[in-house]
Amino acid sequence: MENQLVTCPMCEEGQLLVQVGLEQVNYQSKQFTVTYDFAICSLCGSEIVTPSQAAVNQARILDEYRKQNGLLTSQEIQQIREQFHLTPAQADDLFGREVNAFSQYETGEAIQSFTLDKLLRLVNQMPATFQQLQRLAEVNG
């Protein structure tokens, strides 16, 4: 959890107290409810979402969207990557050449394509395909 004793940027005197609420979200024509972190100033009552809270909230929305669409979550992508002892950069090279794609999937900044999702599941379920993929990546390189 974030540091709970942060000075309020609005009044510059009060302390921000971390709160957790529920938020109804519309994302890519899906509607769902996610837990939502924010802070309230003990003095002036301002409601604030800090940058790190915004990142956490965004990651929750993307993960909920993934669950609703049958996509791997950030954590599942990370587990598969680590199972094959790949760094995020190595996974980018192997699976598609998009720079920082894996780190964005894992921190919840971006959602993987359905194509990549199926490829990751395939490699995860049939580890022998991993070597095939490595050979393909070398041929393409």
Q: How far is the CB of 6 from Zn ion (least distance, A)?
A: 11
- Does 9 help bind Zn ion (rule: CB under 5 A)? no
- Does 14 help bind Zn ion (rule: CB under 5 A)? yes
Q: Of residues 34, 39, 41, 94, which one binds Zn ion by CB under 5 A?
A: 41
- Does 16 help bind Zn ion (rule: CB under 5 A)? no
Measure the CA–CA gap between 53 and 70, rounded to whole angstroms: 26
How big, in percent rounded to 5, are the helix, strand and coil portions of the chain? 50, 20, 30
Residues 78-117 that bind Zn ion (CB under 5 A): none
Measure the CA–CA gap between 116 and 96, rounded to whole angstroms: 8
Terminal CA-to-CA distance of the chain, rounded, Å? 42
Residues 45-84 that bind Zn ion (CB under 5 A): 46
- Does 39 help bind Zn ion (rule: CB under 5 A)? no
Looking at beta carbons only, is 13 or 82 nearer to Zn ion? 13
Number of CB atoms found within 10 A of residue 14's CB: 18
Q: Of residues 20, 44, 89, 99, which one binds Zn ion by CB under 5 A?
A: 44
- Does 122 help bind Zn ion (rule: CB under 5 A)? no
Q: Of residues 6, 10, 55, 133, which one binds Zn ion by CB under 5 A?
A: 10
What are the CB-based long-range contacts (under 8 Å, 24+) for 23-30?
Answer: 23/57, 25/61, 25/64, 27/61, 27/62, 27/64, 27/65, 28/65, 30/65, 30/68, 30/69
Q: Which residues bind Zn ion (CB under 5 A)?
A: 8, 10-11, 14, 41, 43-44, 46
